[in-house]
Amino acid sequence: MRARESGLTLVEVMVTIAILGVMLMVALPGMGDFFDNMQANSDTNDLFSSLLLARSEAVTRNSAITICKIDPAAPVTCANGETWNSGWISFEDLDRDGVVDPGEEILDTYTGMGDRTAVTAVNYTNIVRYLPSGSVTTNGAFNICVNSSVAQNIIVNATGRPRMADAACP
């Protein structure tokens, strides 16, 4: 009597590889969209959280709180030449000049979004300033766009309350 050998034939292995190849071809394009959506959600939540913190601190401290763009290499000063996706800081702006001066506490630092993210601001060219009442000096919006395909807006009304909305890339 012959012993039975176990294993896979060449045909079985080739069929399995073909099926896996087809499954990967179907799944990979959807994965790119999934990762773009996750990046957009993450970047939007980071900026949204900073806006909420600044508003809350303005009311709590009864003082103006300013959020400004930074150079990630020097994250303790405002850098008007940078873009919002390079990062920002929130600080107690006692003299309301939009510049971090000695004695003005930095409350929050965010050192940048991914390379595939672009942020466009409406009415917030360089700073967002929250007043002691929690309102902002100017209402406006941020458009966060990832990979030129997935976008979200953060809209800040005159009372300083930010809200998120679906959007399109500009």
- DSSP codes, 132-160: TTS-BSS-EEEEEEETTTEEEEEEE-TT-
11 assigned to some structural domain: no
Cβ proximity of 129 and 68 under 8 Å: no
10 assigned to some structural domain: no
pLDDT of residue 21: 85
116 assigned to some structural domain: yes
54: enclosing H helix or E strand: helix 10-61
25: enclosing H helix or E strand: helix 10-61
pLDDT of residue 1: 60
pLDDT of residue 124: 95
Sheet holding 65-69, edge to edge: 106-110, 88-92, 65-69, 127-130
* Cβ-Cβ contacts under 8 Å for 45 (sequence gap 6 or more): none
95 assigned to some structural domain: yes
pLDDT of residue 8: 80
Cβ proximity of 152 and 164 under 8 Å: yes
Number of alpha helices (DSSP H) and beta strands (DSSP E) in the chain: 1, 8
What CATH number is given to the structural domain containing 110? 3.55.40.10
- Domain tally, the chain: 1
At 151 the three-state DSSP class reads strand
pLDDT of residue 79: 94
Q: What is the CA radius of gyration of the chain?
A: 24
At 13 the three-state DSSP class reads helix
90 assigned to some structural domain: yes
120 assigned to some structural domain: yes
User: What is the domain range of residue 70?
Assistant: 37-167
Tens digits of pLDDT across the chain (170 residues)? 666 777 788 888 888 998 988 888 887 777 778 888 899 999 999 999 999 999 999 999 999 999 999 998 888 999 999 999 999 999 999 999 999 999 999 999 999 888 899 999 999 999 999 999 999 999 999 999 999 888 999 999 999 999 999 999 88
78 assigned to some structural domain: yes
d(CA 143, CA 81) in angstroms, rounded, equals: 18
pLDDT of residue 2: 66
